[in-house]
Copies of this chain bind each other. A is one copy, B any other.
Amino acid sequence: VIAIADTIAVRVYYEDTDAAGIVYHANYLKYAERGRSDMLRSLGIGPRQLREETGVDFAVRRCTIEYLAAARLDDMLSVETRLEKFGVASLDIAHTIARDGEPLARLAILVACIGTDGRARRLPARLRAALAQVSQDPPTIVQKTP
């Protein structure tokens, strides 16, 4: 069981909205990617380090989004990123984008490691180690709750 979850705050600016007065639907994917990037960074290996030190990028392979309610100009949103599982070359990630606790969008995203040639690569050893580390911790945490 993996239970890594991070939450970031995202402000909605004009750049995010469209003529219908709401956040343009594609931009929720940007918010989610900000959350994933920050989670990687919190594990000690941000997207640029990943590129420059290991020669890989994460590419989105599959994405499902449910839109529940619309975000609007100036809203302050929370973007939760949960690593649900990781494989040899990919990560399953879930995001919930919410405003004042009300979920506005839910995303399920499969990202895969690719090399500069676009082909699949194994997760870099350093990232796997960081993920294995955090995935072993949750039991300890669970035991804390009597």
Listed in ascending order, the chain A residues whose CB lies under 8 Å from chain B are 11, 13-15, 17-22, 24-27, 29-30, 33-34, 37-38, 41, 46-49, 51, 57, 59-67, 69-70, 72-74, 114, 116, 118
Contacts and interface: CB of A to CB of B under 8 A. Distances in A.
Query: Most chain-B CB neighbours within 10 Å: which of A24, A33, A46, A65?
Result: A24
B59 A74 contact: no
B22 A26 contact: no
Give the number of copies in the complex: 4
Interface class of chain A by DSSP: mixed
A30 to B, nearest CB: 4
A114 B20 CA distance: 10
A18 B20 contact: no
B26 A33 contact: yes
Given A59-B67, A72-B48, A74-B41, A33 B20 contact: no
